Structure 1
Amino acid sequence: MADHDEERVHPRRRPPRAARRPHRALRRLLPRSVRARATFAATAVVALALSGTAVALLGVLQANLSRDVQQSAVRQADKVAALAEREHLPPVIAGPGGTIVRVVDSDGKLVSTTPDLAVSYGVVLPRPQAPEPPQPPGGPLSYRQTFEPDGRAYVGALVRDPEQRVVSVTVNGPDGELTIYSAAPTGTVDAAGRTAAAALAVALPLLVALVALVTWRVTGRALRPVEAIRSEVAEITGHDLHRRVPVPRTADEVSRLAVTVNATLDRLEDAGQRQRRFIADASHELRSPIAVLRTQLEVALAHPDPESWPELLADALQDTVRLQDLAADLLLLARLDAADPVATELLDLDVLFADVLDARPADRVPVRAELADGVRVLGNRTWLTRLLTNLVDNAQRYAEGRVEVRLAVEDGAAVLEVRDDGPGIPEPDRERVFERFTRLDDARSRELGGAGLGLAIARDLVEHHGGTLCAAGQPDGAELPCGARLVARLPLAGPLSRAS
């Protein structure tokens, strides 16, 4: 048990510092820049590939040349064997291309040979016998091989000179049983191998150096726009967000990076402008009720008439409530912009919205509600309550005698519609009404106490729930042919969303 507890306390043990030093030293030796790393990687890969190719090429060349020499010896042995089967062999046989041929009988007596070539090459012509076991390296025997071309059994002869490839064949002819030895020099094979190795030893380093140089130049040219983008972004501050990085005309990844950086700067510039405009509008909205409240208090102090105090206090209370509502809206907008997580739960929208509407008995215009049953969403109760409140408050400001609230399920989403019979929203302004501190009728909105934040807050609340909010026209055949129509869509939760 103690061992298990110790393992839980120390699940991973770091290696000793002395063991980590070689790894750190190795990291220091590796190049740090992208250009150097790319050049190092490309050069290493090409060097390994070329080295392996060179080794394979030399091996294939050596094998092919050795096979050609061996086939030359075999062809010469076949010619002499065919001649020995038909007639008596002459004492001297002409060997083409430096090939050495010796023919002996069954007693080992020399029958025929090429003119004095065997002595200069030191070929030993033993009597044909079964192959002996190979001797240790460095012994007197240097070659032994068995192969079967064209159905004939050729046994490699025992040769003291490693520069010879010797084959033998036994035939019966007019001279009796003869053994033919054919030897071909391998000097050309070794010379060709040495020449190829020397050529590769010179060409490979030059080729690797050329690859490193080209990679270094190409990588530097490719990374030059990246450095231009970096230097430009480093100089951009919060006061000059209008600046943009250069976009290369290469239409590659670097070009797309520059386009993305410029798009990000566009969003930052737009956010900065919106923030400055928001601060200016909020300051203006706060200054107006504060100025009115201060004027009322100064009048009350300058003219202490007890009969006018109730009216002054009522006006002051109204301006104070307006300030309180505006401060609450600004705090809510700040929280929405910060995207702080909020508690969510599974809610029945029909029950929630019915409770919200029942809690509004003092509305100027009665609200007609049509709420479908079983519309469930995953959301925050306070925010969804504020959503319906803002939409109904907006309809109450402009309605002449009727406000309708409709909740239904359409295309797998919960659809909330709030309609009124007021002047409506002109089509060019149906998107602008959701901007902060926007009033289509500024004088009337101020008289009714609106600050132009209700619909902006409502849209932010819907978007935080994964939905949409828009201003639409009245559908054909609607009971309210004119007026505003605000439509919010929220994703369903529970069985309805799975069925859809």
Structure 2
Amino acid sequence: MIRRWSTLPLRVRLVTLGITALLVGFSIGGVTLMLVLHASLRHSVDDAATKTAHDIAGLLDNDKLPSRITTGRDTTIVQIYDTHGRYERGSLGADPLVPLLRDDELERAIHGEHFTVEGERANINTPVRATAVKTDKNIVIVGVAESEVGAVPKLAFGLTITLGVLAVAVGLALWWAVGWTLRPVEAARAKQRSFVADAAHELRSPLANMRTELEVAERIGATDDLICDLLTDVERLSRMTEDLLLLARMDDARRPHRPEGLDIGELLEVLVETYADARVPVSFSRPDTDVLVEADRDGLHRVFTNLIDNAVRHAETTVTVECLASESDVLIAICDDGPGIPLADRKRVFDRFTRLDDARGRNSGGTGLGLPIVAELVAAHRGSIQLWGERPNGLRAEVRLPRE
């Protein structure tokens, strides 16, 4: 049972627990209310019977009781007996042949007890609460119908219906509220499952290549290219592992790790110098003035490195890096004259492990994590990134960062 419960969706479990807690709480409250109300109404009926009995006894002692006894209510029955148990008179509807209290009940009632007796003794349809008072010459028995107390079961039935309707309404509200609250959690879990599945798939390919190469070398001997091929696969695995770790850290906290004041122009100039021996020239004209931003140096270095690497990998003849500053933000553009990215795919390429079927695919050395890492790091700096097509061909990646 516990195992089956744990396999239910989280939303179902939370709503079930909520409705169960509601039903238990309202049931306890309702039962308590019914018990208190029943006791209060019964106490009220007993007080009415006792007061009526004492009032009639007082009138008897003063010889002021009229011959026709009126109680003001049809649900109150009065029987007056002498001390020998002979019936003398009673209220309208009182049965002179059937006493409200039997002999054993009468003795106890005289000492202050109250009894619930069947209504047939008083010729009415509801139970009666009866008590008795003894004077020097008479015994006064008074019974009051429990019509008010009889309303408690009806109230309990009404509360049960109300509780059922309320439980349905609250259940629907909880189902919507929990679903709305868990929507980000479910999205994150789905994203995590997809990420793990994609990571396992991507890691399997280089591992399979390495295993195949090693098995072939074991059978026919190592070739001259074996070490080079294995190093290529190891490098790809290392790069992918680093990218996965970086994405995992960014999923935990979407903010720069070490923000500091830095000059974007200087950062780009130093970075572009490292591409002096790239397959195509990378050019950059540093702005005349310092372009200061508050950012994480390592994070931005990774952003621009990934973008320039992509541009160099796919460019035909050249890559250009631009930096334009305004009072509020900084625009950094990396342009290449390669095959570009179709308009329909320019948002999709920021999804993890996304590769296009053209020249920007797996064979070009990408892991499918470069642009997602760029998007995550730029978002952590409260910036934005957009891809534009260049004419006649190529791609322009624009990163916009706030200066403060």
Give the TM-score, by structure 2 length: 0.56
| 1:490 corresponding residue in structure 2 | 401
Note closer, same or farther for the CA distance 1:219–1:463 as it changes in structure 2 (3 Å cut). Answer: farther
Q: Per-residue displacement from partner, 1:289-321 (whole Å, max 9, x unpaired)?
A: 11111111222222235xx23x11011111100
Q: Which amino acid aligns with 1:445?
A: G
Shift of 1:222: 8.0
Note closer, same or farther for the CA distance 1:351–1:426 as it changes in structure 2 (3 Å cut). Answer: same
Q: Which amino acid aligns with 1:339?
A: A
- What is the distance in 1 between the residues matched to 2:359 and 2:338? 16
Q: Per-residue displacement from partner, 1:217-259 (whole Å, max 9, x unpaired)?
A: 99998896445444xxxxxxxxxxxxxx24xxxxxxxxxxx3x
> 1:162-181 alignment to 2 at 5 Å?
none
Q: Which amino acid aligns with 2:362?
A: R
Tell me which of 349, 353, 374 is aligned to 1:458. Answer: 374
| 2:220 corresponding residue in structure 1 | 303
Q: 3-state SS of the aligned residue for 1:482?
A: coil
- What is the distance in 1 between the residues matched to 2:282 and 2:195? 33
Q: 3-state SS of the aligned residue for 2:355?
A: coil
1:272 aligns with 2:189: yes
1:367 aligns with 2:282: yes
| 2:392 corresponding residue in structure 1 | 481
Q: Which amino acid aligns with 1:324?
A: S
Contact 2:206 2:233 in 1 (8 A): yes
| 2:135 corresponding residue in structure 1 | none
Shift of 1:467: 0.6
- What is the distance in 1 between the residues matched to 2:285 and 2:190? 41
- What is the distance in 2 between the residues matched to 1:275 and 1:343? 26
Of 446-455 and 335-344, more deviation after overlay is shown by 335-344
List, as ranges, runs of 4+ consecutive aligned residues in structure 1 with deviation greater than 4 Å.
217-224
Q: 3-state SS of the aligned residue for 1:345?
A: strand
Q: Which amino acid aligns with 2:190?
A: Q
Shift of 1:443: 7.3
- What is the distance in 1 between the residues matched to 2:384 and 2:322? 16
Of 318-327 and 372-381, more deviation after overlay is shown by 372-381
- What is the distance in 2 between the residues matched to 1:444 and 1:491? 30
Count of aligned pairs: 250
- What is the distance in 2 between the residues matched to 1:436 and 1:411? 34
Shift of 1:424: 1.2
Note closer, same or farther for the CA distance 1:340–1:425 as it changes in structure 2 (3 Å cut). Answer: closer
Q: 3-state SS of the aligned residue for 1:416?
A: strand
1:335 aligns with 2:246: no
Q: Which amino acid aligns with 1:370?
A: S
Contact 1:371 1:408 in 2 (8 A): no
Shift of 1:370: 2.9
Q: Which amino acid aligns with 1:403?
A: V
- What is the distance in 1 between the residues matched to 2:338 and 2:246? 28
Note closer, same or farther for the CA distance 1:264–1:361 as it changes in structure 2 (3 Å cut). Answer: farther
- What is the distance in 2 between the residues matched to 1:385 and 1:439? 23
The alignment-based identity, stated in percent, is 43
Q: Per-residue displacement from partner, 1:399-452 (whole Å, max 9, x unpaired)?
A: 111111111114621111111111111111111111111111267522221011
- What is the distance in 2 between the residues matched to 1:406 and 1:223? 63
- What is the distance in 2 between the residues matched to 1:424 and 1:376? 31
| 2:130 corresponding residue in structure 1 | none
| 1:159 corresponding residue in structure 2 | none
Q: Per-residue displacement from partner, 1:170-225 (whole Å, max 9, x unpaired)?
A: xxxxxxxxxxxxxxxxxxxxxxxxxxxxxxxxxxxxxxxxxxxxxxx999988964
Q: Per-residue displacement from partner, 1:1-57 (whole Å, max 9, x unpaired)?
A: xxxxxxxxxxxxxxxxxxxxxxxxxxxxxxx99xx9xxxxxxxxxxxxxxxxxxxxx
Tell me which of 409, 413, 434 is aligned to 2:329. Answer: 413
Note closer, same or farther for the CA distance 1:468–1:403 as it changes in structure 2 (3 Å cut). Answer: same
| 2:306 corresponding residue in structure 1 | 390
- What is the distance in 1 between the residues matched to 2:321 and 2:214? 41
| 2:78 corresponding residue in structure 1 | none
Q: What root-mean-square deviation, in Å, do the aligned CA atoms of Structure 1 and Structure 2 show?
A: 3.0
Contact 2:265 2:290 in 1 (8 A): yes
Shift of 1:268: 3.0
Query: Per chain length, whose mean CA-contact separation is higher, i.e. which structure has more relative contact order (CA < 8 Å, sep 6+)?
Result: 2
Tell me which of 344, 348, 362 is aligned to 2:259. Answer: 344
Shift of 1:274: 2.1
Q: Which amino acid aligns with 2:264?
A: L
> 1:54-453 alignment to 2 at 5 Å?
225-230=169-174, 245-246=175-176, 258=177, 261-304=178-221, 308-309=223-224, 311-339=225-253, 342-372=257-287, 373-410=289-326, 412-441=328-357, 445-453=361-369
- What is the distance in 2 between the residues matched to 1:340 and 1:428? 27
Q: 3-state SS of the aligned residue for 1:481?
A: coil
Q: Which amino acid aligns with 1:492?
A: R
Note closer, same or farther for the CA distance 1:284–1:226 as it changes in structure 2 (3 Å cut). Answer: same
Note closer, same or farther for the CA distance 1:325–1:488 as it changes in structure 2 (3 Å cut). Answer: same
Q: 3-state SS of the aligned residue for 1:456?
A: helix
Of 381-390 and 405-414, more deviation after overlay is shown by 405-414
